[in-house]
Amino acid sequence: MNPDHSANFLRLLEARIQDPGFTKGERTRATIRWATAAILEGSGYASFSLDVVARKANVSRPTIYQYYANKRDCVFEVLSEFLTIVFQFVERTGKARRSKTNDLLTLVTDVNREYIAFYRENAALMERVRELRQDIPELISLQQDVNRKWAERLAAHISRGGPLSPKQALLTAYALESMIDDFLRELFVLKNPHLAALNLSDDALAESLSGVWVRAAYGRLDPG
C-alpha cells in the first residue's frame, strides 16, 4: 500500500484498482476485494453473499470463483489484509515520529493521535474483525499476532526506560493495547453517549490516553 494514501482502508483498495501496472485479472481481483470491503463496511456479514459482491463489483458470480472458493475465503483475504494494514500503518507512523522526537510522551501521543484517526476511519471494519472471529477462527490468530508484535515492541521500550521487569512490561503492554482498543470501540463503534459528551478533540483524546499509558508503563509522565 502506498503510505501517501488516506488511512481509510476502503479508499486504499479503491485506489489500487487504478494501478496502471495491473493486468486485467489483477484489476478484477482488486475490484472484488474493494466490493467485499465496501459491503462488509456498509451492511456486515449477515447480508453478505457473492451475488451481492458480483453486483457491487460489476462482474459475474463465476468470475469471482476464479479467485475465491466461497464467500468465507473472499472475506478472510480482505480482512487479513486489513489487519496487516493496521499494523503497518501504526508501525510506519511510529518510525516517522521517532525520527523527529526523543520525548516519550510526545512520541506516544503522536502515534496514538494517528491511531485514533485510523480507528475512526475504519471503525466498521474493526468491528467486523471482532464479529467474525467465531465464523472465521483464523482471524483470531491473525489479530493476536498483530497484538503480539505491538506488545513486544512496546514492552522492549518499557523495559529499557522504566522500573518494570520484561514480563511485567509485556503484561503492561498487552493491557495498554486493550485499553486503547476498547476505549475507541466504545467511542466510534458503540457510540457511547457518555464518552461522546466529553466532546474531546483527537489532540485532547490522544494526550489523555497517552498520559494514562505513560504513567502505567513508567510510573510518571517523565521516564527520564
Question: Among 5, 9, 35, which residue's Cα sits nearest to residue 125?
Answer: 9
What's residue 5's pLDDT? 44
Whole-number Å distance between alpha carbons of 166 and 45: 40
Give the pTM: 0.87
Q: Quick one: pLDDT band at residue 178, thresholds 50, 70, 90?
A: very high
For the CA atoms of 93, 99, 101, 106, the dihedral, rounded to the nearest 10 degrees, stands at: 10
Listed in sequence order, the residues at least 6 apart from 16 whose beta carbon sits closer than 8 Å to its beta carbon are 1, 22, 30, 33, 34
pLDDT of residue 123: 96
Distance of CA 76 to the CA centre of its chain: 15
Is the CB of residue 103 less than 8 Å from the CB of residue 204?
A: no
pLDDT digits 0-9 by tens, 31-87: 999 999 999 999 888 889 999 999 999 999 999 999 999 999 999 999 999 999 988
pLDDT single digits (tens) 138-148: 999 999 998 99
Phi, psi of 79 (to 5 degrees): -70, -30
Radius of gyration of the chain (CA): 19
Instruction: For residue 196, give the 3-state DSSP assignment.
Output: helix
Instruction: Count Cβ atoms below 10 Å from residue 45 Cβ, excluding itself.
Output: 17
Q: According to the per-residue pLDDT averaged within each range, which of 46-50, 97-101, 162-166 is highest?
A: 46-50
**Helical segments of 138-201, H only:** 138-161, 166-184, 193-196
Closest-CA residue to 48 (of 131, 142, 106, 126): 131
If one compares 128 and 88, the residue with the highest pLDDT of the two is 128
Supply the DSSP symbol for 46: T
Model confidence band, residue 100 (pLDDT cutoffs 50, 70, 90): low
CB-CB neighbours of 24 under 10 Å: 7
Q: Which residues contact 17 (CB under 8 A, 6 or more apart)?
A: 27, 30, 31, 34
Complete domains list, the chain, with CATH: 9-71 (1.10.10.60), 73-218 (1.10.357.10)
